[in-house]
Amino acid sequence: MRFSSLLHKEFRECLPWMLLAAILFVAVTSVLFQTETYSENNSYRFSRLSPGTVISSYKITFYPAMSETGPWLFFLSIGLGLALGVRQFWIPNFTGTWPFLLHRSVSRNTILAAKLTAASIAFACSIVPIWVGIYWYATRPEVFAVPPTFRFFIEGWIFITLGLVTYLGAGLSGLSTAKWYTTKIFGLAFASLIIITTFSQRSLVWVLTLIAVSAAILLSRIFDTFLRREF
Amino acid sequence: MSEIVLETEGLTKYYGDSLAVDHLDLEIPRGCICGFVGRNGAGKTTAIKLMLGLLEPTAGSSRLLGCDSSALTPAIRQRIGYVTEGHRLFRWMSIAGLEKFQRAFFPKQWDDKFFTDMIEYFDLPKKKKIKHLSNGQRAQVSLALALAPNPELLIMDDPTLGLDAAIRRQFLEGMIGLIMREGRTVLFSSHILGDVERVSERIVVIDKGILRAYCSLEQFQEAVKKVIFTFADSVPNEVNIDGLLHCKRIEKQLELTLVGTDDEQIAEWAKSAGAENHTIVKMSLEDQFIEFTAPANQKRLFKWEER
């Protein structure tokens, strides 16, 4: 009951950002898909090719609409992670609500767990189902000339997990009471470094391992900082 | 001897090089209503946060209900009510939402009727959001939230700060409601001495982080006194009397603020100094506090005060 009460409070605070991300993602992908489906633009594009024309296979397998959702998913995921991190760990510093929140008949671990769970639910209920829906739609027959591969789907998941890493980084920076030019910047800088490193890797296994390890590092730092911090 | 509910031993806190609380030693027994007074920046909020385990002490320790403050268990926190400075509550929540939130942490001891009665007494609509409440209304909600679980120990950090006289009175009446319950202990910080005088039994005076006084209100009121000596000729240049806090010369009169000096000592000194007569002036608690905590040789803010 205590955890669910905390979770409800945290989730309610995440709700506006979660809805904003979901609405934006649906709106953007709808516009992109409307202009680039098999039955309309793709067929129109291919119909202009005269017999005997040599074209690159890349042109056939390339599905612009699907690939254009990638940057949107990436930026929305990073944006959502930043917004949730700021909402949960920065705003209470300014509103001065930490003492009221912390004087609960629960441990600090429980309070932090409620925050992390609420943020995970916010991700799981906003861009995750939309991404799954998009992939499901794009792989249906006659939507695209060549359906997107499973790798493409996994790359979307990587963007989503990078959003979670950003959330943890923003949370850690928000919790830190150090000066900006010292350790306060560590959370955000570490998350940025992981994002940059991820883009320079080609192996999905390596990328997923990197994200998992960095998330574990950030999580352990967040728990440690939250338990020790003075409010 | 009654049970000690709140205890600090050499409690010290530094923020970098700045000393906020310096070796605070306190023992507050069960059932005591204790006013915690000090000027702005005296270290009241820091001391309270140290007691509640929200800050780590640099040295020393404190115990609430027998449990070390730095390791307060959820079960102990359940027995402590806390009104935060500035009544910082979740702005997006309604009063009813906050009630539900708070109740979840006190499932067995939450007094629904008490909370509703208090909210009705303060004439607050439960559907109203915290962000739409005035500072005074937030204070009332904050008090109702802290009192409804019927805490054994209530700690309030400047609860009447920024409230007008009428709301302050309502607030204090609400507090008295808790005090009427048996065995409840209250520690509240304030810089409004009238509030302290109205409800406190004991007083803790803290100044620049140092504990200056911890005694009953009557003891404090008896200890700090102002005496005006009138001299026929000139006022003596040197004043050597026990407990001298401040000394002010006004023509042929000498005004001394003394602490812990009894009437016999005053009479003896008056005789030895050659004073024609002396009068002990009755001081309000506020005047006593100001004189007691004012630094020696403090400059006056306005020059006309020096005349």
- Higher-confidence residue: A82 or A59? A82
Closest CA to B206 of B25, B2, B30: B25
Query: What is the rounded end-to-end Cα distance, in angstroms, of chain A?
Result: 25
Residues of B with CB under 8 A from a CB of A: 49, 52, 54-56, 74-75, 77-78, 80, 82, 84-86, 88-93, 100-101, 104-107
Range of the domain at A195: 2-228
pLDDT class of A187 with cuts at 50, 70, 90:
very high
Residues of A with CB under 8 A from a CB of B: 1-2, 4-5, 8-9, 12-13, 95-100, 102-107, 228, 230-231
Q: For residue range A94-147, list pLDDT tens digits in order.
A: 999 999 999 999 999 999 999 999 999 999 999 999 999 988 988 887 777 667
Closest CA to B224 of B244, B238, B204: B244
Handedness of CA B14, B20, B26, B31 (dihedral sign): negative
Residue bearing tokens 């949107």: A72
pLDDT class of B304 with cuts at 50, 70, 90:
very low
Q: Which residue in chain A is spatially nearest to B155 when comparing CA positions?
A: A103
Is B276 buried (19+), middle (13-18) or exposed (0-12) by CB count in 10 A? Answer: exposed
Q: For residue range A23-73, list pLDDT tens digits in order.
A: 999 998 888 777 665 444 455 455 555 666 665 555 555 455 566 778 889
Q: In what order do the strands lie in the sheet with B202-207?
A: B67-68, B59-64, B4-15, B18-29, B210-216, B202-207, B33-37, B185-190, B153-156, B80-83
Q: For residue range B4-53, list pLDDT tens digits in order.
A: 999 999 999 999 899 999 999 999 999 888 999 998 889 999 999 999 99
Closest CA to B57 of B45, B46, B73, B72: B46
What pLDDT does residue A78 have?
A: 96
- In this predicted structure, the answer to whether residue B299 has a pLDDT above a threshold of 90 is no
Q: Which of helix, strand or coil describes residue B12?
A: strand
Subunit contact A100:B91, Cβ cutoff 8 A: no
d(C-alpha A223, C-alpha B80), whole Å:
25
The total of structural domains in chain A comes to: 1
What pLDDT does residue B29 have?
A: 92
Subunit contact B90:A97, Cβ cutoff 8 A: yes
Residues in chain B: 307
A61 to A33, A64, A133: CA distances (angstroms): 16, 9, 21
Subunit contact B55:A5, Cβ cutoff 8 A: no
Question: Which chain A residues contact residue B105 at CB under 8 A?
Answer: 2, 5, 104-106
Residue A206: phi and psi, rounded to 5, are -65, -45
Distance in Å, alpha carbon of A176 to nearest chain B alpha carbon:
14
What pLDDT does residue B306 have?
A: 43
Q: Hey, what are A165's tokens?
A: 């890493």
Distance in Å, alpha carbon of A115 to nearest chain B alpha carbon:
15
Closest CA to B4 of B219, B187, B180, B198: B187
What pLDDT does residue B162 have?
A: 72
Burial A87-123 (b: 16+ CB within 10 A, else e): bbbbebeeeebbbbbbbbbbebebbbbbbbebbeebb
What pLDDT does residue B300 have?
A: 46
Domains and CATH numbers, chain B: 4-208 (3.40.50.300), 223-306 (3.30.70)
- In this predicted structure, the answer to whether residue B122 has a pLDDT above a threshold of 60 is yes
d(C-alpha B50, C-alpha B137), whole Å:
27
Q: Helix (H) and strand (E) counts for chain B?
A: 10, 14
For chains A and B, count residue pairs whose Cβ atoms are closer than 8 Å: 64
Q: Which of B49, B85, B106 sits opposite A105 (nearest CB)?
A: B106
What pLDDT does residue B233 have?
A: 79
Average pLDDT, chain A: 86
pLDDT class of B155 with cuts at 50, 70, 90:
very high
d(C-alpha B247, C-alpha B228), whole Å:
10
pLDDT class of B244 with cuts at 50, 70, 90:
confident
A203 to A147, A196, B146, B233, B275: CA distances (angstroms): 22, 14, 56, 99, 97
Range name among A155-169, A186-200, B285-299 with the lowest pLDDT average: B285-299
Choose, out of B89, B108, B141, the residue to mutate when testing the contact with A (most A CBs < 10 Å).
B89
Subunit contact A96:B105, Cβ cutoff 8 A: no
What pLDDT does residue A50 have?
A: 61
Subunit contact A103:B74, Cβ cutoff 8 A: no
What pLDDT does residue B264 have?
A: 86
Calculate ∠ Cα B101-A2-A6, nearest 5°.
60
d(C-alpha B71, C-alpha B4), whole Å:
18
Calculate ∠ Cα B70-B75-B81, nearest 5°.
80
Residue bearing tokens 């998941």: A157
Residue bearing tokens 């320079």: A200
